[in-house]
C-alpha cells in the first residue's frame, strides 16, 4: 500500500508543517504536495502582519505621564519555531516592544519626546523586537512610535502656547508694516519739502476733475 494519499496545495502566502506521530518531518513550501498517510498538516501564514500596541503610560524625565503607542510590522520566517516554541509568539514580540518603549523614553523630556519621538526610540525598539522575535521564528521588519498622547491639561497649555506665538508673530508683522508705512511717509514728506514744484504737482493730481487752482507767484 502506498504511503501517500490525497494531494494538496500550499500557497505562496503560507507554509505547511507535516507531523507524523507528533514529530515534525517536513516544512512544505508553495506548490503541490502529496499527503502522507498517518500525517497531520498545519498551515502557517507567512505574510507581513501589522500590530499596534495598546497605549501605555510612560513617565518622562521631567515627570510627565504620557501615553505612547507603537506599530510593529513582522512576518514568520521559521514556521516550526513559530508553532513549537511558545503558545503566542506575537505576544513575545509585543511585550519586548512595550518594555523597550518604556526604557527608551524614560530619560527623555516631554517637549523633546513630542518633537522627536520616532527618531529617539525607533532603533532601540527595532533591536529589542528582533532579539525577542528571532527565537520564536519571527522576523521584525520595522517598529515605529505611532502616537504620543499628552495629558489634557498639557495639551491645552501647548495649544495656548502655539496660539500666543502665532498672535505675537501677527502683531510683530503688523508693527513692521506700520513702521515701513511711516518710513515711507517720512521720506515722501522730506522729498516734497525739498522740491516745492513736486508738491504742487501732487496737489494738482489730488484735485477732483474740473477743479480750478489759483497759484500766487511771489516776486
Q: How confident is the model at residue 1 (pLDDT cuts 50, 70, 90)?
A: very low
CA pair distance 176, 159, nearest whole angstrom? 26
Q: How confident is the model at residue 154 (pLDDT cuts 50, 70, 90)?
A: low
Q: Please provide the DSSP assignment of the chain as one string.
A: --SEEEEEEE-TTEEEEEEETTEEEEEE-SEEEEEETTEEEEEEE-S-EEEEPPPEEEE-TTS-EEEEEEEEEEEES-HHHHHHS-S-HHHHHHHHHHHHHHHHHTTS-HHHHHHHHHHHHHHHHHHHHHHHHGGGTEEEEEEEEEEEE--HHHHHHHHHHHHHHHHHHHHHHHHHHHHHHHHHHHHHHHHHHH-HHHHHHHHHHHSPTT---------
Its pTM stands at 0.65
- Residue 219 clears pLDDT 50, i.e. is over it: no
CA pair distance 19, 136, nearest whole angstrom? 19
| Mean pLDDT in residue range 183-201 | 70
Q: What domains are there in the chain, each with its CATH number?
A: 4-45 (no CATH), 49-156 (3.30.479.30), 174-205 (no CATH)
Q: How confident is the model at residue 2 (pLDDT cuts 50, 70, 90)?
A: very low
| Mean pLDDT in residue range 54-77 | 87
* pLDDT (tens digit per residue) in 16-34: 999 999 999 999 999 999 9
Tally of CB atoms within 10 A around 140: 22
Q: What whole-number percentage of the chain has pLDDT above 70?
A: 75
- Amino acid 151: pLDDT: 74
- Amino acid 31: pLDDT: 95
Q: How confident is the model at residue 158 (pLDDT cuts 50, 70, 90)?
A: low
- Nearest 5°: the CA angle 205, 208, 209 is 95
- CA distances from residue 203 to 53, 191, 193, 206, 209 in whole angstroms, order as listed: 75, 14, 13, 5, 12
- Residue 36 clears pLDDT 70, i.e. is over it: yes
Is the pLDDT higher at 206 or at 180? 180
| Mean pLDDT in residue range 140-153 | 84
- Amino acid 178: pLDDT: 73
Amino acid at each position: 500500500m502506498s504511503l501517500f494519499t490525497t494531494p494538496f496545495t500550499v500557497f505562496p502566502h503560507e507554509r505547511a508543517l507535516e507531523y507524523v506521530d507528533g514529530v515534525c518531518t517536513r516544512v512544505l513550501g508553495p506548490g503541490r504536495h502529496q499527503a502522507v498517510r498517518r500525517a497531520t498538516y498545519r498551515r502557517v501564514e507567512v505574510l507581513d502582519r501589522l500590530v499596534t500596541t495598546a497605549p501605555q503610560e510612560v513617565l518622562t524625565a521631567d515627570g510627565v505621564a504620557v501615553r505612547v503607542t507603537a506599530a510593529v510590522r513582522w512576518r514568520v520566517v521559521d514556521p516550526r519555531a513559530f508553532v513549537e516554541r511558545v503558545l503566542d509568539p506575537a505576544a513575545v514580540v509585543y511585550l519586548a516592544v512595550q518594555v523597550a518603549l518604556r526604557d527608551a523614553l524614560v530619560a527623555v523630556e516631554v517637549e523633546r519626546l513630542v518633537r522627536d519621538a520616532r527618531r529617539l526610540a525607533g532603533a532601540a525598539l527595532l533591536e529589542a523586537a528582533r532579539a525577542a522575535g528571532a527565537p520564536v521564528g519571527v522576523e521584525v521588519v520595522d517598529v515605529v512610535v505611532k502616537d504620543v498622547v499628552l495629558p489634557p491639561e498639557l495639551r491645552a497649555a501647548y495649544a495656548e502656547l502655539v496660539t500666543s506665538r502665532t498672535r505675537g508673530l501677527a502683531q510683530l508683522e503688523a508693527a513692521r508694516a506700520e513702521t515701513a508705512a511711516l518710513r515711507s511717509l517720512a521720506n515722501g514728506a522730506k522729498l516734497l519739502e525739498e522740491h516745492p514744484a513736486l508738491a504742487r504737482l501732487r496737489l494738482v493730481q489730488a484735485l477732483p476733475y474740473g477743479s480750478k487752482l489759483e497759484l500766487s507767484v511771489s516776486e
